[in-house]
Structure 1
Amino acid sequence: MEKLNGHHHISMLTKNGKKNNDFYTKILGLRRVKKTVNQDSPSMYHLFYGDLTGAAGTELTFFEMPVAGRTIRGTNAITRIGLLVPSYDSLRYWQERFQQQGIEHSAITTYAGKDALFFEDHEGLRMVLINHHGQATPAQWQPWEGNDIPAAHRILGMGPVEITVRYLQRTVHVLQDLLHYTVVAEREKEVALQAIEGEVFGEIIVKELEGPSEKPGKGSIHHLALRIESVEELQAWATTIKERGFDSSGVVDRYYFQSLYFRDRNGILFELATDGPGFTVDSAVEDLGKELDLPPFLEEKRADIEAILEPLD
């Protein structure tokens, strides 16, 4: 079985698509690469932000749920997103930018042994900027230049993702024994694993925390998607996951990629997703994110869908 290639995307809940769009495009300087809908519930937006093309490993995605309440933090949840920036000077730049923009943030500190700057978005989603020390990034990542962020300090893509669980080894075993992640560090009630050893763009940090499970709401993380190269590999993973006693969705056609979903014994929702065909399957690169794009099976409902959705721009 081939090993996974790191993170594909991570998906969250937002109460207000317009405010969400403003934060991630205007404050963080990411590109809105796809404005579409939740294919299982097309009355809500599904917004994707990332680099020039929304390459796998750069995508932050949000489902708009106007009825979402506040998140009640707890265990058995994905609890923090790491984003890579080029240097320590980049952390200084972002610290000053957050100060100017009134964004809640920490002093420059460390996280999992790396220089870091903690911050939260307008809905309390917990994130941390990580110094990538000028190291190489995946070949498919291409910077988005349509923002006011200096090129030397732009967000590169996803780094470590934190998962907090009641029973540490249940999730560690799934990552290590089923998905073939490598343990790279162990601390008290914390294990760091990497899809590609030595590369933080595929790192997951699992922390143990007793107590009630998180109650999701605005600013909570719904699932983490991991990279698969092909549909053939995805089908093989579907068989393996079933043989190991986990229920899964089976292969699901999301038009922009093929997916499979399953939960570990702590209830953490993982998705395996193919790299392609990608967001340019129905848009030229220069037009990504501008219009409402729908998969073919929803096109006949376009008028009804557009009548429900509030404009973002």
Structure 2
Amino acid sequence: MYTIPGHHHISMITKNAKINNQFYQEVLGLRRVKKTVNQDDPSMYHLFYGDLTGSAGTELSFFEMTNAGRTVRGTNAITQIGLLVPSLESLAYWKKRFELLKVEHGEITKYAGRDALHFEDTEGLRMVLLNNNGEEVPEKWAAWEESIALQNHRILGMGTVEITVRSLDRLAATLTSMLGYSEVSRTDNEAVYQSVAGRSYGEILVKQADGAIEKPGRGSIHHLAIRVKNEEELRYWDEVVKKRGFHSSGIVDRYYFQSLYFRESNGILFEIATDGPGFTKDSSVAELGKALDLPPFLEARRADIEAKLVPLN
């Protein structure tokens, strides 16, 4: 039986790619590793930020939807993204940086058993910096040395992802009996699950909350992608999803990785994505994220696609 070695990426909605680009590069110090378009709707940007090469588990992905309204927060949604930083001192560094740059943030506190600093981007996307406290991270994660953030305080990659649902039990069953996550803590209305024991780079915190379902908009989270190694494993999970009674998209070739998509019983959209081939498939490491990269099936439409996109830099 195959296992899930952690998060792959997480995808959000932005109304303004230019402002988004500035925040994630110049405030958070992440590298823009891929500037491309939504393969299902190439009129919109699809931007990826991460480490040196956009390793699986470091990728924050944004679709630009210029007509996006505000998010009306509610339940049955992915509600917060954890980002790992090296130490407690790193949280103090980021708190001072957020104060200087007028980023909405809270005080240093605890979250999912770790020292934490909650903050929001310019569109209200909820995130939390988490103290990794020297713990092991995936071996392929590699620092981007040109980051604007100080070397010993840079964001490492994704940590705990929070999902809020009406039925905790239904999501719990999907995570444990279908995907092989382990339940590591549980109260009446909150539980923590890990795909890799003791590691937050594969951790999901589930909160139970009744009420209206979230209405997505700018700053909302579209889906969470979890990792598999290769297409053989992806085919295995495609069968698992179908046997569970969920509708699978089937395997979709996203050029930089292969994926499948399904919704669990609360309506949360999951993607299962392969580690490779990765963003260097059509770019050198040095040139990642600089030019507009298109998968081959869109290359013939490049002139038309570029004409409709607002330059970011």
One-letter identity of the residue aligned with 1:225:
A
DSSP 3-state at the match of 1:286: coil
Structure 2, unaligned runs of 5 or more: none
The alpha carbon displacement at 1:187 in A equals 2.5
Partner Cα separation in structure 2 for residue 149 and residue 233 of structure 1: 36
Between the aligned partners of 2:188 and 2:60, the Cα distance in structure 1 is 30
Gaps of 5+ in 1: none
Deviations 1:265-298 (A, max 9, x none): 0000000000000000000000000000000000
What is the percent sequence identity of the aligned residues? 64
Is the aligned partner of 1:201 residue 2:237?
no
Q: Distance in 2 between matches of 1:191 and 1:113?
A: 12
Residues 215-266 of structure 1 show CA distances to partners (whole Å, capped at 9, x for unaligned) of: 0000000000000001011011111111110101000000000000000000
Question: Using the alignment, how far apart are the partners of 1:148 and 1:221 within structure 2?
Answer: 25
1:255 alignment partner in structure 2: 255
Superposed displacement of residue 113, structure 1:
1.5
Aligned residue runs from structure 1 range 53-64, under 5 A: 53-64=53-64
Alpha-carbon distance in structure 1 between the residues aligned to 2:241 and 2:157: 28
Deviations 1:101-120 (A, max 9, x none): 00010010010121000000
Partner of 1:107, secondary structure, is strand
* Alignment map for 1:1-313 (pairs within 5 Å): 1-313=1-313
TM-score, length-scaled by structure 2: 0.99
The aligned amino acid for 1:214 is E
CA distance in 2: counterparts of 1:145 and 1:136, whole angstroms: 20
CA separation in 1, counterparts of 2:180 and 2:186? 17
* Cα drift, residue 150 of structure 1: 1.2
CA distance in 2 between partners of 1:187 and 1:43 (Å): 45
* Aligned partner letter, 1:308: K
- What are the Cα deviations for residues 79-113 of structure 1, in whole angstroms up to 9, with x where unaligned? 00000000000000000000000001001001012
Tell me the matched-pair count: 313
C-alpha displacement of 1:188: 3.2
3-state secondary structure, aligned to 2:55: coil
C-alpha separation in 1, matches of 2:100 and 2:248: 45
Structure 1 moving runs of 4+ over 3 Å: none
* Aligned-pair Cα RMSD in Å: 0.5
SS of the residue 2:42 aligns to:
coil
Query: Which whole-Å CA distance do the structure 2 matches of 1:96 and 1:112 have between them?
Result: 23
| TM-score normalised by the chain length of structure 1 | 0.99
How far apart in 2 are the matches of 1:188 and 1:22? 40
User: Residue 185 of structure 2 aligns to which amino acid in structure 1?
Assistant: A
- Residue 148 of structure 1 and its aligned partner are, at CA, apart by 2.2
C-alpha deviation, 1:147, in angstroms: 2.1
Distance 1:55 1:148 in 2: 19
Q: Once the 2 structures are TM-superposed, how far is the Cα of residue 184 of structure 1 from its aligned partner?
A: 0.8
Cα-to-partner distance string for 1:166-216 (whole Å, 9 max, x where unaligned): 111111110001000001111230010001011110000010000010000
CA distance in 2, matches of 1:197, 1:186: 16
SS of structure 2 residue aligned to 1:43: strand
Query: Which residue type is aligned with residue 163 of structure 2?
Result: I
Separation (CA, whole Å) in 2 of partners of 1:103 and 1:241: 40
Once residues 148 and 246 of structure 1 are traced to their aligned partners in structure 2, the CA distance between those partners, rounded to angstroms, is 43
Secondary structure of the structure 2 residue equivalent to 1:106: strand
For residues 219 and 162 of structure 1, the distance between their equivalents in structure 2, rounded to whole angstroms, comes to 15
Question: Which residue type is aligned with residue 284 of structure 2?
Answer: A
In structure 1, what is the Cα distance between the partners aligned to 2:6 and 2:172?
A: 16
Report the alpha carbon displacement of residue 32 of structure 1 after superposing the two structures with TM. Answer: 0.1
Partners of 2:303 and 2:151 lie apart in 1 by 40
Equivalent-residue separation in structure 1 for 2:275 and 2:161 (angstroms): 19
